[in-house]
Structure 1
Amino acid sequence: HPLPHQVPCWLRPRDRTRSPEVLTENGVSPSHTPLGSQSPSLTLHTSFPQGQRRESFLYRSDSDYDMSPKTVSRNSSLASEGHTAEDFIVTPFAQLLCFRRSPLGGVCVSPRATLSDQQYQQLALDTLEELDWCLDQLETIQTHRSVSEMASNKFKRMLNRELSHLSEMSRSGNQVSEYISSTFMDKQNEVEIPSPTLKDKPMSHISGVRKLSHSSSLSSTSMPRFGVNTDHEDELAKELEDLDKWSFNIFRVAEFSNNRPLSCIMYAIFQERELLKTFRIPVDTFVTYVMTLEDHYHGNVAYHNSLHAADVTQSTHVLLSTPALDAVFTDLEILAALFAAAIHDVDHPGVSNQFLINTNSELALMYNDESVLENHHLAVGFKLLHQENCDIFQNLTKRQRQSLRKLVIDMVLATDMSKHMTLLADLKTMVETKKVTSSGVLLLDHYTERIQVLRNMVHCADLSNPTKTLPLYRQWTERIMEEFFRQGDKERERGMEISAMCDKHTASVEKSQVGFIDYIVHPLWETWADLVHPDAQELLDTLEENREWYLNTMPQSPSPPPDRHLQHDRFQFELTLEDLDLSSYIYYKTFHLQTGVHLWALVWEQLDLLTY
């Protein structure tokens, strides 16, 4: 059999059997459908670039943790020529499928049972035949939920181990660990006793929605060139020449668009992609909506404002245009992704979900503490469509509107950072599974697979700051830290415990960015780059350069006290059978198979576990 990392795998457009009527219904004309017989396919490269590029912590083995935790570079490991093919498969389900190709994993085990050669060979053949059938059943399980949940649990356990080591290094390291743990892992909320409750307000309406009027001064005949009034049209035109580039400077667009970056970017992208024409969106209605949307972002919020929304929208636009994904998504899905990016933080108050929960806010009560802000952003974004001359989807069919709404809801809810590990596990499981399966084909003809890619695309765009050029990245870092510190000041005023990285007196900006890259951004973008290889390699290079810059500017921290390890309880996870590395479990069980234990019982045991 070929080695797992040598098996080619292709990403193809949707099922080619759909009729032209279905394509038209979803906003794609048969003339440029991604389903044509000549449409390109994408090879998912299964070998990793060797050399000096860093691998994320997901590729660490247990032996790596014998190293000193004080070694700063331990947070990522350099690619090693000593890796075997199996080392590059890290998600449990893909490891199981990889195991299918070589059931003993190359390990020779001497059976303790007394069997003749003929009996042993027959038992092995029968058992492997049953194993093959059972694994075929496992392979049909959708990798979106039950199977990738094992990877999520494994990644959380590995991240917990990394954070425990980081917190041993210094006080600031402990604070960075606490921030990553509390922000990017979906844990049970530890709710503080709330401040005195304000007088109850009616919750029958969506808070934050204001009556605004932009339509009276707009018409298709008098529409500005870039959708916004500006005295710097030539300068703005020059900046928009880079609209399709990752190095696009959104700060200069804001400067030249009369501080209307979101309206300007949305107008430029929709014009370039001809979405106004495709979905028959009246231009004055479109501009009215995006200006109303932009007005519902808070200009006094340092980071989560319309500038950030414009940046995420433009980044999503570039990711949608990556050559590897050419002709993969329908126009309706592209429309939904751009709309989701534009509304994903509307009416953001500049504080975290946990702050809203801890203060017993109206929003937390309305959404039952679950993805509070993300639910609110969706509600506001869709509610604004009901304002005068704002329904940009007025000419979509009922089916198209329903499909778009479902897509947008899925994508915006995925921007809840506490879902990060689940998103990462979903994507990595899908990519690795298709590398080692016999078919090796990812058709993306199921909604769960298509939305999985779109969710991660918007999530990547939302976490794209560290992959931008250093001057842009540093501006974003200054803004997010300012927003964190403002929340910390509010918590201090209320007598609350100050959230991690929100105390302006103790936070280490440089260390927070190195940890943010090592444990969150790098593993995500590494997986995305694997999906669209080689299109994102330059982004990974920039990410590494930015990490090195922050690492080199990091102030040296004093050594922790000897009893530091006693303070790590908050980062420990309770491990269950589901958390175990499935490949290790299989190898262990296979040893006992040689003494007469039937492997089919083991596989059915695992099947029950996967589908529970």
Structure 2
Amino acid sequence: MAEIIVYSDIAISNIDEISTNILYDDDFTSIIKTLFKKGNQEFDTNHVTLIILSDKLIGKSPLNQLPNEDKHLLLKYYFNHLNLLIINEKDLQQTENIGRLKFTIQEISKYISDRITRVETWTGCGKSCVDDQFGDISNQINEMIGTMSYTIDCVINKSKSTTDKLKTIKDMIIAEINFKELLSNNNTSHLSKLCNLVGHWSFPAHELTNDDLSYCVYLIIKYALDQINDETINLSPNELMGMIFMVRDTYKNGNPFHNFRHAVDVLQACFHYVIRLGYLPSFTQFQTDPKADELICLYSEKFGNAVELIPMTKLSKTRDETNLNLYQTLALLLAALGHDVGHPGVTNAFMIKHSTPTSLLYNERSVLESFHSSIFINKILIINWPHLLNLMTDSKTKLTFKDLIITSILATDMAEHFEYVDKLTHFSNNSSKLVNRIKLISSLLIKCADISNVTRPLRVSAQWTSVLGREFDEVNELENKIIKSTFTKDIKYDKIPIELSDILKFNPNLHKGQIFFINTFAENLFNNIVELLPQLKFTGDIVKENKEFWLKRDNI
């Protein structure tokens, strides 16, 4: 069945044949708010969302006064993850159209009914031809489901006039919607708690909602912008929150690991790095002890009235030019936020093995990373922050924000891991050009943040390992579905336990993967990064302690 949202001031007959879950609203702005609020859910939408648009203009606000063509564009660009089917009210006036609509919804449901089938459909790795331009697929199913191919096509092939129209629509949304008010919990005490949690290295991402995580992103990016204090690149608080909501909704929140929570975790890790490295000033809520107990903060109800991060020191005016400046630091933080946007929940190796359309498009090299950077730049930033992209981060290297964001995101390809470790090992301040140093530092920091799970205190680290295991299991299930045509049912997960003992009880073999990953990838990277950036020594120390814990379990 479908979820139906009707933008009309009169009831429409016969649509109860399609669904009993029907919302009538004669305020288009209210409908947009409702759709944005769905971003707090942490699962894929497994049904069609049918939007019925009125044939007449209702209400006097700019969003209400948009023609249906522009309403359609807005809905598709912002909310395609909800499997939108958009029709006009007049299309339902003929009885036979109800039957066609029911058939269309049934057809779409075949491709989104369960988690494994959804991943198969997004990636285009199955036997269905939803992305085949030569197939006889009616109603453009790839558009309604938002496959990777369709997303790329929309991002790359939109004209300048469409881009300009989307910017105008975005401005209308910002003017009419207060995004902070859309947060499920926006009282002062709660937001103050989030300020303090952002300051912990043992950041409890799994205990926070998507709304909480959205506000954590706001705190970090706003803090970096405040230090720059440059009107040429600034966003208003509401513009920033609006962009964050779009980023959040472009992640696949049903992914066990590569979801918005992971993006915020990587951003928060990068934020801690640049604070400790002195690229940004420290703030009063910052915990200098990387093992400070975050649960005390999480469960406490006693907080002040500070709902933003408060700078504690000022940066030295005589900064080493070989370090990241404030603009380059902002570029790194943005790259961290968008580094996995649109991730389908499978690996590059899987995409290449099954010759998915996206792997062919990017010539089987850094497939997902190329996809992420394209979507982040050409869908999100081009609409929400267009004046930022081509600005130079400094006058000497002439690196633009766009250059540095793309370079950093591409560096997260684990296939390039050992190449970066080799660059780090042979890096010399004296022999390297400044532009190469800036690119390498940004790449290394985001790489460290991307696999920082093993450097978090053990309880948090074990939670991340558990959800990563779930995602690997899904890839195996999808392999079986493709090769053996096995039947799949929808997967629903219990929340990851908060206590380490419970995590280990439900995942008794967790240590095996951790020992392999630390030995193969993490240990060498974090030990070598200390040679270049000694302020990050705490990461190597925690990796060593965690490894000793897992080795003891391996010997039990």
Measured against the shorter chain, the TM-score band is 0.5 to 0.7
| In 2: Cα distance, 1:369 partner to 1:442 partner | 35
| In 1: Cα distance, 2:388 partner to 2:194 partner | 32
Provide closer, same or farther for how the CA distance between residues 320 and 249 of structure 1 changes in structure 2, counting only shifts above 3 A. Answer: same
Is the 8 Å Cα contact of residues 411 and 455 (structure 1) preserved in structure 2? Answer: yes
| In 2: Cα distance, 1:490 partner to 1:555 partner | 33
Provide closer, same or farther for how the CA distance between residues 403 and 262 of structure 1 changes in structure 2, counting only shifts above 3 A. Answer: farther
Written as runs of structure 1 = structure 2, the 5 A alignment for 1:516-595 is 516-533=517-534, 535-554=535-554
Provide closer, same or farther for how the CA distance between residues 246 and 371 of structure 1 changes in structure 2, counting only shifts above 3 A. Answer: same
Unaligned runs of 5+ in 1: 1-193, 435-440, 499-505, 557-612
Is the 8 Å Cα contact of residues 258 and 345 (structure 2) preserved in structure 1? Answer: yes
Q: Which deviations, in whole Å up to 9, do the C-alpha atoms of 1:417-465 show, x marking residues without a partner?
A: 00000011101111xxx4xxxxxx5497521121111100000000100
What is the letter of the counterpart of residue 290 of structure 1? I
Offset of residue 536 of structure 1: 2.5
Q: 1:459 aligns with which of 447, 465, 471?
A: 447
Which structure ranks higher in relative contact order (CA pairs < 8 Å, sequence separation ≥ 6)? Answer: 1
| In 2: Cα distance, 1:359 partner to 1:221 partner | 43
Q: Counterpart in 1 of 2:302?
A: none
Structure of larger gyration radius: 1
Provide closer, same or farther for how the CA distance between residues 217 and 407 of structure 1 changes in structure 2, counting only shifts above 3 A. Answer: closer
What is the letter of the counterpart of residue 528 of structure 2? T
Paired residue total: 339
Does the alignment pair 1:342 with 2:337? yes
Is the 8 Å Cα contact of residues 250 and 261 (structure 1) preserved in structure 2? Answer: no
Provide closer, same or farther for how the CA distance between residues 397 and 275 of structure 1 changes in structure 2, counting only shifts above 3 A. Answer: farther
Q: Which deviations, in whole Å up to 9, do the C-alpha atoms of 1:342-397 show, x marking residues without a partner?
A: 1100111111111111222111121111111001001110122367xx42242676
Does the alignment pair 1:424 with 2:421? yes
Unaligned runs of 5+ in 2: 1-124, 134-148, 159-165, 281-318, 487-506
Is the 8 Å Cα contact of residues 389 and 402 (structure 2) preserved in structure 1? Answer: no
Does the alignment pair 1:291 with 2:242? no
Offset of residue 270 of structure 1: 2.1
| In 2: Cα distance, 1:476 partner to 1:275 partner | 32
Does the alignment pair 1:487 with 2:488? no
Q: Counterpart in 1 of 2:348?
A: 353
What is the letter of the counterpart of residue 401 of structure 2? L
Q: Which deviations, in whole Å up to 9, do the C-alpha atoms of 1:75-106 show, x marking residues without a partner?
A: xxxxxxxxxxxxxxxxxxxxxxxxxxxxxxxx
Q: Counterpart in 1 of 2:152?
A: 206
Q: Which deviations, in whole Å up to 9, do the C-alpha atoms of 1:127-149 show, x marking residues without a partner?
A: xxxxxxxxxxxxxxxxxxxxxxx
Local SS of the residue matching 1:300: coil
| In 1: Cα distance, 2:434 partner to 2:343 partner | 33
Q: 1:332 aligns with which of 327, 333, 337?
A: 327
Provide closer, same or farther for how the CA distance between residues 207 and 315 of structure 1 changes in structure 2, counting only shifts above 3 A. Answer: farther
Does the alignment pair 1:373 with 2:368? yes
Q: Counterpart in 2 of 1:509?
A: 510
| In 1: Cα distance, 2:335 partner to 2:469 partner | 25
Q: Which deviations, in whole Å up to 9, do the C-alpha atoms of 1:172-195 show, x marking residues without a partner?
A: xxxxxxxxxxxxxxxxxxxxxx86
Q: 1:260 aligns with which of 211, 216, 221?
A: 211
What is the letter of the counterpart of residue 392 of structure 1? W
Written as runs of structure 1 = structure 2, the 5 A alignment for 1:471-486 is 471-486=459-474
Provide closer, same or farther for how the CA distance between residues 384 and 397 of structure 1 changes in structure 2, counting only shifts above 3 A. Answer: closer
Identity across aligned pairs (percent)?
Answer: 23
Provide closer, same or farther for how the CA distance between residues 281 and 325 of structure 1 changes in structure 2, counting only shifts above 3 A. Answer: closer
Provide closer, same or farther for how the CA distance between residues 208 and 313 of structure 1 changes in structure 2, counting only shifts above 3 A. Answer: farther
| In 2: Cα distance, 1:269 partner to 1:352 partner | 29
Local SS of the residue matching 2:324: coil
Offset of residue 538 of structure 1: 2.6
| In 2: Cα distance, 1:377 partner to 1:264 partner | 22
Offset of residue 245 of structure 1: 3.5
The more displaced of 470-479 and 321-330 is 321-330
Q: Counterpart in 2 of 1:238?
A: 193
Provide closer, same or farther for how the CA distance between residues 208 and 541 of structure 1 changes in structure 2, counting only shifts above 3 A. Answer: farther
Runs of 4+ in 1 over 6 A off after TM superposition: 208-215
Is the 8 Å Cα contact of residues 220 and 283 (structure 1) preserved in structure 2? Answer: no
| In 2: Cα distance, 1:200 partner to 1:537 partner | 48
The more displaced of 397-406 and 454-463 is 397-406
| In 2: Cα distance, 1:342 partner to 1:289 partner | 11
Q: Counterpart in 1 of 2:180?
A: 224
| In 2: Cα distance, 1:207 partner to 1:488 partner | 28
| In 1: Cα distance, 2:380 partner to 2:547 partner | 41
Does the alignment pair 1:270 with 2:221? yes
| In 2: Cα distance, 1:369 partner to 1:507 partner | 36
Q: Counterpart in 1 of 2:266?
A: 312
Is the 8 Å Cα contact of residues 262 and 342 (structure 1) preserved in structure 2? Answer: no
Q: Give the root-mean-square deviation of aligned CA atoms.
A: 3.4
| In 2: Cα distance, 1:268 partner to 1:204 partner | 33
Offset of residue 224 of structure 1: 3.0
Q: Which deviations, in whole Å up to 9, do the C-alpha atoms of 1:459-502 show, x marking residues without a partner?
A: 0000100110111111100100000001111112222799xxxx
What is the letter of the counterpart of residue 206 of structure 1? I
| In 1: Cα distance, 2:530 partner to 2:360 partner | 39
Local SS of the residue matching 1:415: coil
Provide closer, same or farther for how the CA distance between residues 492 and 232 of structure 1 changes in structure 2, counting only shifts above 3 A. Answer: farther
What is the letter of the counterpart of residue 152 of structure 2? I
What is the letter of the counterpart of residue 419 of structure 2? T
What is the letter of the counterpart of residue 308 of structure 1? H
Offset of residue 207 of structure 1: 5.3
Is the 8 Å Cα contact of residues 262 and 290 (structure 1) preserved in structure 2? Answer: no
Is the 8 Å Cα contact of residues 304 and 350 (structure 1) preserved in structure 2? Answer: yes
Is the 8 Å Cα contact of residues 325 and 532 (structure 1) preserved in structure 2? Answer: no
Offset of residue 234 of structure 1: 1.5
| In 2: Cα distance, 1:223 partner to 1:444 partner | 44
Is the 8 Å Cα contact of residues 465 and 476 (structure 1) preserved in structure 2? Answer: yes
Local SS of the residue matching 1:247: coil
TM-score by length of 1: 0.50
Offset of residue 222 of structure 1: 4.9
TM-score by length of 2: 0.55
Provide closer, same or farther for how the CA distance between residues 208 and 236 of structure 1 changes in structure 2, counting only shifts above 3 A. Answer: farther
Q: Counterpart in 1 of 2:292?
A: none
| In 1: Cα distance, 2:375 partner to 2:335 partner | 12
Provide closer, same or farther for how the CA distance between residues 414 and 229 of structure 1 changes in structure 2, counting only shifts above 3 A. Answer: same
| In 2: Cα distance, 1:224 partner to 1:276 partner | 23
